Amino acid sequence: MPSVDRPSLSLLTAFGRQFRRHGQALMASLTDVANPLLFFFMVVTLFPLGLGPDPQQLASMAPGILWVVALLASLMVSARMFASDFEDGSLEQMALASHPLSVLALGEVAAHWLATGCLLAVVSPLFAMMLGLPSQGLGVLVLSLLLGTLCLTLIGAVGSALTVSIRRGGLLLSLLIIPLNVPVLIFGTAAVTEAVMGRDPSTWLTLMGALAAGMLALAPLAMGAALRISLDS
């Protein structure tokens, strides 16, 4: 018996409201935003201590180090992506909305990505300089991290949606999504390495762009279905 009595919100407004709600919640508790950055900073400072201060060696390993740490930082935050919404009942309400759950969830994920992955990509040149990454690689590093963290966040969101109702689902989540993250890691590291060598990284960046576009189209559907399963248990 479907019927609507009053004009409801347009899909875009509903998306915007979810984006705003989640963004404001993130901004208010800065730990969720600061944690991945702090983690990134700490790990990057530890590598020179462990590997020795040889600048040449550090510079050659920098693309791989930066990308692995970015992947781990993203893994760390994706476990909590839908957790608070599940606990406080917001997810139930999203599922009852007359708008598709996938679009509302995507609004949240967009806010989440801006506050974590996108921010990480923007400040990554600072960390790269700490490792002595040659300056010709910095631009490609930022670009590859922007595309890459978008993929990682979307993959993490699907995993988080599947495991949100499981107590201590963190390990299961890691097992589920690390294999899916591997291509992103390979493409990202390759792009930065090519740029550092002075070669054209566009092949790798194009592949990452394609991956991000595909994820953006498919991940919301998977998220919506996974969230409904998680709510129904």
Question: Is residue 166 at the binding interface for other proteins, with CB under 8 A as the rule?
Answer: no
Minimum separation from the CB atom of position 197 to other proteins (A): 46
Question: Is residue 12 at the binding interface for other proteins, with CB under 8 A as the rule?
Answer: no
Question: Is residue 85 at the binding interface for other proteins, with CB under 8 A as the rule?
Answer: yes
Choices 64-72, 79-87, 126-134, 214-222; region in contact with other proteins by CB under 8 A: 79-87
With beta carbons less than 8 A apart as the criterion, state whether 91 and 124 touch.
no
Per-residue contact string for residues 18-47; x = within reach of other proteins by CB under 8 A: x-xx--xx--xx------------------
Burial of 29 (0-12, 13-18, 19+ CB in 10 A): exposed
Q: Nearer Cβ to other proteins, position 175 or 229?
A: 229
Burial of 228 (0-12, 13-18, 19+ CB in 10 A): middle
How many CB atoms are located within 10 Å of the residue 176 CB? Answer: 17
| b/e burial code for range 195-211 (CB count within 10 A of at least 16 → b) | bbeeeebeebbebbbeb
> How many of the chain's residues bind other proteins (CB under 8 A)?
37
Per CB under 8 A, the list member of 47, 50, 81, 89 interacting with other proteins is 89
What is the C-alpha separation between 185 and 193, in angstroms, rounded? Answer: 12
Footprint of other proteins (CB under 8 A): 1-9, 14, 17-18, 20-21, 24-25, 28-29, 84-85, 87-99, 104, 231-233
